[in-house]
């Protein structure tokens, strides 16, 4: 077993300067400072520009997290990793991340749908503030270098892998860490014979979606793709657009109006014109059964669209790490962020996985050094 040595400088490698890697480095430095310990060096390796991957988040506004303050309810938004996250969230949850961001000058606000954004509405501002916080620590070095395998990290005392889910399979496998194949999990969907005009936003009972040139996109489409990630294409889905009884009530109050006019009170007219073949017919002449049919949208999903690709399912198997995301296979190795087999729906859930797992890893790495 390794002995704690007063004079030794501990070398920590972080592979990936994405949201998880930078948050982990900042928390490592904070924890060491709290413990009055400065015999450490953190090298953050990135093959590209640090925090480049945060720039497109939230459409450039960076949906930092979500305002669900109950851990179980929050975790129910992850098709993969739900139970594993209970423990991570009990150590570091959304309000802890908000406090952390406040401290480095990123004020946040809650949007009406519960999503949390920086007040600046700028992912670039989040990137800049996180990187300036990093520059304050002389023990942290950003290195522009791609790491291909375990051998390149031999001289490090502690290793944190947080290189995300794009082209990282070989790197993970070089550590012999069990993993699940990466698959696109939050995508827009291609739909068979889709003839709605593109760009219509629909607030359906099941969630919000938007029509594209070949199908649907937006939070509901992403959720459908995530939940059905292992289903072979094509598969059928049914979206509840509105409550059929609401339409019936509208008809009872407006017996002379056409179905088209009334249904356009519940869904956009340009969408209804395609969805309702009997658009100009008197509403009172439409059967109850047909009204029920009109309240739903049946789609045959042909595949993932090339538009929009947000997160991947797959990565390091959760049963191959302990509750601090430390490898059970390889000594002195931790994982955080999307490289773990954890993925959530749209709404700030994927970044919260980065913040919580990175914090827990930072805490455990520090503990592994100074509590010897």
Ligand X SMILES: Cc1cc2nc3c(=O)[nH]c(=O)nc-3n(C[C@H](O)[C@H](O)[C@H](O)COP(=O)(O)OP(=O)(O)OC[C@H]3O[C@@H](n4cnc5c(N)ncnc54)[C@H](O)[C@@H]3O)c2cc1C
The site for ligand X (CB under 6 A) is made up of 15-21, 45-48, 52-53, 56-58, 62-63, 146-147, 162-164, 168, 171, 310-311, 337-339, 348-351, 354
CB of residue 99 vs ligand X: minimum separation in angstroms?
18
Q: Which is nearer to ligand X, 214 or 343 (CB)?
A: 343
CB of residue 214 vs ligand X: minimum separation in angstroms?
19
Q: Which is nearer to ligand X, 163 or 361 (CB)?
A: 163
Handedness of CA 78, 81, 83, 86 (dihedral sign): negative
How far is residue 336 CA from its own chain's centroid? 13
CB of residue 342 vs ligand X: minimum separation in angstroms?
9
Residue number closest to ligand X, CB atom: 18
Query: What angle in degrees, to the nearest 10, is found between the helix axes of 19-34 and 123-135?
Result: 40
CB of residue 12 vs ligand X: minimum separation in angstroms?
15
Q: How far apart are CA 23 and CA 74, in angstroms?
A: 20
Q: Which is nearer to ligand X, 84 or 196 (CB)?
A: 84
**Tokens standing for 17?**
């300067």
CB of residue 53 vs ligand X: minimum separation in angstroms?
3
Count other Cβ atoms within 10 Å, centred on residue 208: 15
Q: What's the distance, Cα to Cα, between the start and end of the chain in Å?
A: 10
Q: Which is nearer to ligand X, 149 or 280 (CB)?
A: 149
Q: How far apart are CA 181 and CA 341, in angstroms?
A: 9
**Tokens standing for 57?**
């988040």
Q: For tokens 């009170």, name the residue.
A: 265
Q: Which is nearer to ligand X, 47 or 296 (CB)?
A: 47
Q: Which is nearer to ligand X, 17 or 130 (CB)?
A: 17
Q: Which is nearer to ligand X, 149 or 293 (CB)?
A: 149
CB of residue 238 vs ligand X: minimum separation in angstroms?
27
CB of residue 117 vs ligand X: minimum separation in angstroms?
8
């Amino acid at each position: 077993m390794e002995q704690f040595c007063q004079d030794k400088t501990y070398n920590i490698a972080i592979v990936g300067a994405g949201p998880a890697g930078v948050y982990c480095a900042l928390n490592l430095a904070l924890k060491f400072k709290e413990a009055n310990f400065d015999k450490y060096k953190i090298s953050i390796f990135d093959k590209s520009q640090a925090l480049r991957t945060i720039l497109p988040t939230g459409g450039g506004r960076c949906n930092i997290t979500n305002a669900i303050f109950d851990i179980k309810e929050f975790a129910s938004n992850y098709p993969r990793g739900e139970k594993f996250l209970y423990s991570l969230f009990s150590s570091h949850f959304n309000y802890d991340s908000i406090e952390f961001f406040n401290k480095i000058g990123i004020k946040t606000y809650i949007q009406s749908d519960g999503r949390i954004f920086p007040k600046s509405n700028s992912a670039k501002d989040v990137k800049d503030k996180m990187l300036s916080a990093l520059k304050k620590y002389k023990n942290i070095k950003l290195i522009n270098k791609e790491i291909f395998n375990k051998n390149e990290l031999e001289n490090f005392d502690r290793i944190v892998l947080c290189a995300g889910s794009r082209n990282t399979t070989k790197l993970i496998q070089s550590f012999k860490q069990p993993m699940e194949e990466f698959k696109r999990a939050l995508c827009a969907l291609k739909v068979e014979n889709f003839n709605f005009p593109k760009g219509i936003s629909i607030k359906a009972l099941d969630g919000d979606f938007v029509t594209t040139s070949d199908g649907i996109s937006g939070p509901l489409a992403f959720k459908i793709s995530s939940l059905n990630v292992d289903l072979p294409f094509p598969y059928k889905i049914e979206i509840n657009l509105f409550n059929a009884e609401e339409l019936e009530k509208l008809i009872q109050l407006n017996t002379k109006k056409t179905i088209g006019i009334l249904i356009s009170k519940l869904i956009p007219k340009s969408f209804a014109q395609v969805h309702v073949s009997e658009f100009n017919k008197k509403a009172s002449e439409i059967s109850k059964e047909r009204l029920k049919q009109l309240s739903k949208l049946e789609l045959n999903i042909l595949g993932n669209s090339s538009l929009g690709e947000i997160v991947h399912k797959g990565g390091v198997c959760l049963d191959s790490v302990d509750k601090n995301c430390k490898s059970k296979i390889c000594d002195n190795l931790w994982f955080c962020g999307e490289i773990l087999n954890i993925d959530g729906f749209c709404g700030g859930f994927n970044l919260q996985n980065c913040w919580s797992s990175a914090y827990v890893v930072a805490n455990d790495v520090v503990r592994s050094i100074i509590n010897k």
